[in-house]
Each structure stands twice: as C-alpha cells, then as structure tokens.
Amino acid sequence: MSHAIGPDDIEAQARARLPEPVWSWLSGGAADEFSLRGNRSAWEALALWPSVLRPLRGAHTRSMLLGRELATPLLLAPAAYQRLLHPLGEAGSALAAATQGAGVVLSGMTSVALEEVARHVRDEPGRGPLWFQLYLSGDRGFDRALVDRARAAGFEAIVLTVDAPVQGPRERERRAGFRIPAGIAAVHYDDRPAPAVSPGALCGGLVEHAPTWDDVAWLRDAAGLPLLLKGVLRADDARRARALGVAGLIVSNHGGRTLDTVTPTAVALPRIADALGGTLPLLVDGGIRRGTDVLKALALGASAVLVGRSALFAYAAGGPQALAQALRRLRDELEIALALCGCARLEEVSRTLLDASQ
C-alpha cells in the first residue's frame, strides 16, 4: 500500500483497485445506510477521559477469552466471498491475522474451503482464536455435518449469526449491478438448491426457515464446541442466550447491511454489559477502525472486537501484507491509547475512561 498511512488512505486505495460493483458490495449498507454511518459516528461521539501519571511498567495487551490467551483483543469479522478481493481469499486474510496475533472468525460463506483456511493458520505460533461462523440452513443434517467439518479442521468455537434471516435491501450494490462472478462461490453453500419461494408469503416464505431459540439449544448440544451468538442488540435477548448456556455474545448489527436505522453497536454494548454483569464474554463489531475505537469498546464492556470493513479495505488494497500492516497499526494505536489513558493492562480499562458528561 504505497503512501497509505491511515484508514482513509487505505480505503481510497481499495476503491481505486476494485471494480465499482465489487466496491459497492463491500462498502455499502442497507437502504439509506443510516446504520452504516451510525455505527461509525457512535464511536466518534464517545470522548476519552485519560488519567495521567499512572505506573505503566510491564504494560501489555494480553487477555483471556474462552480459556485461551490473546496477544491482542482483535479478531477478523466473518466476511463472505473474499476471493473477490484477493486470489488467496480467506486463506490469505487468515494468515495475515495469524502473523499479528489476531483471531479469525471464518465466514460460513467462505470462498475457500474451511479446511484450507485452517491448514494455513492452525499451527502458526502466536495466532489468535480460530472460530467458524455459520447460518442455519433449515437442514439439521447439513448444519451438523458442516460443524463437524469445522471441529475436525481445528476450529475452536462456532459463531451463529442470528440477525439475518433475510437479506437487507442493499440499494447501493443493486445500482452498481453487483453479481458474484463465475468462478467464485460460497463453497459450502452454493451447491445447495435455492429455497422455494412462496408468492404472497412474508419475504417470499424465506422466514419459514428462520432460526429460533430452539435451534440455538440444538446447535449448542450438537456443536461440540463453545457456541457464540452474533447479532444480539437487546438486553432481554442477551439474558435469554445466557440462560441457554451459550459461551459468549457478539454485539452486532451486521455492519448496517441488514436492517437500516437500527441501534449502533456502541449504544447497544453497554446496555447488554449492564444486563449480564460480566457473566458472559462480549465482543462487538460495526465501525471499528481505530485503536481508540477498540479502547472505547473495552471500556463499554467488550472483551475483544471484530474488525470488518477496515480490514477488508486493506486486504483489497494490498493483499495479505497490507492486511497484516493494517492490523499492526490498529494494535499499535491501541497500545498508544492505553498508555496515554494511563492503563497498563486491559483489565484496568473501564467506563471511567469515558467522559460521562456527554
């Protein structure tokens, strides 16, 4: 990435390198994109309130999540069809993350087989967590087989996306005429027959197969791995998930790509954290692109963050090396922010670092 210093530079380079339809798919959101912009503006609206002259000897960013140590509280968010961005697809982005100690949440809609992605990273020293995300298909035999493959390949947790039973109205990509090109596919799903459409039924009948809490309970037992739910925004849903015995929650609104005008994740996160009182690990995504955003998320109750678009922009701009550089920059920014706020360790981060007068 020549002359790419910050995220705006990286985004500009990604846009210059991608065909307009692919750029619209990658960067766009649902409908009028209020939620897309709202995620970003909510982090920006939070002001840090640093403490000075604090002892910083021995400072680090290590933490524990689901029983394993993280070098840094960063994971790549699940994102489909990454061969649209680079020929190595998800294998290249996962390896870039592993070199920086960041975790990976591999999309079930990966364009590279999950076994191939795992082969690239599972033995990498110092890598972060390796998790597999999926959408329930309505066919429990298929879903169980896919989870079994993930477990056998070395994935350490299952992430169920619960906020997208149907796709949002993505007008920007429709205007650009985006289509998945020949030769690129969601390799685990695209050979399955399309669900039957029922004219006159809600969303063409697609919601007939929408997952429910009963499906969460089934998957919890079937997975053989810790189960996290991605897409929770309400405290009552968070409490119900806890009662079902899930291992953690990812506070997410799908990056503003499904339901427009939905609550920003920076607003939902502290409400859920208060409701659960530290009884479940919380992660968050949506609009994270600076180390100060990561620090604010930790202050609001997150154990770690998922990085989506800003990481994908880097991957599109310059491949695995550029993505590794972007993750290193994000980690460096977090370390700088920690030091400047007077925190030697992540467990010292709390809401006292945020200006409550706002």
**pLDDT(89) > 90:** yes
Is 254 one of the annotated active-site residues of the chain? yes
CB-based contacts of 297, cutoff 8 Å, min separation 6: 43, 266, 269, 284, 288, 305
Tell me the average pLDDT of the chain: 95
Active-site hit among 86, 120, 188, 254: 254
* Domain 7-47+56-194+201-353 top-level CATH class: alpha beta
Extract the runs of DSSP E, i.e. beta strands, from the chain. Answer: 63-65, 68-70, 74-76, 103-106, 130-134, 157-161, 227-232, 248-251, 282-284, 304-307
Residue 278, Ramachandran bin (φ over 0: left; ψ between -120 and 50: alpha; else beta): left
**pLDDT(229) > 80:** yes
- Count the residues in the chain: 358
pLDDT value at residue 196: 63
Helices and strands: H and E segment counts in the chain: 12, 10
Please state the pTM of the whole predicted model.
0.95
Sign, CA torsion 232/234/240/242: positive
State how far the Cα of 293 lies from the Cα of 39, in Å rounded to an integer.
11
Q: 134-140: long-range contacts (C-beta < 8 A, 24 or more apart)?
A: 134/108, 134/158, 134/159, 134/160, 134/161, 135/108, 135/109, 135/160, 135/161, 135/164, 136/160, 136/211, 136/215, 136/219, 137/189, 137/192, 137/209, 138/195, 138/209, 140/218, 140/222
**pLDDT(319) > 90:** yes
State how far the Cα of 17 lies from the Cα of 2, in Å rounded to an integer.
13
pLDDT value at residue 197: 64
**pLDDT(195) > 70:** no
Section 177-193 average pLDDT: 89
pLDDT value at residue 189: 87
**pLDDT(190) > 90:** no
Domain ranges across the chain: 7-47+56-194+201-353
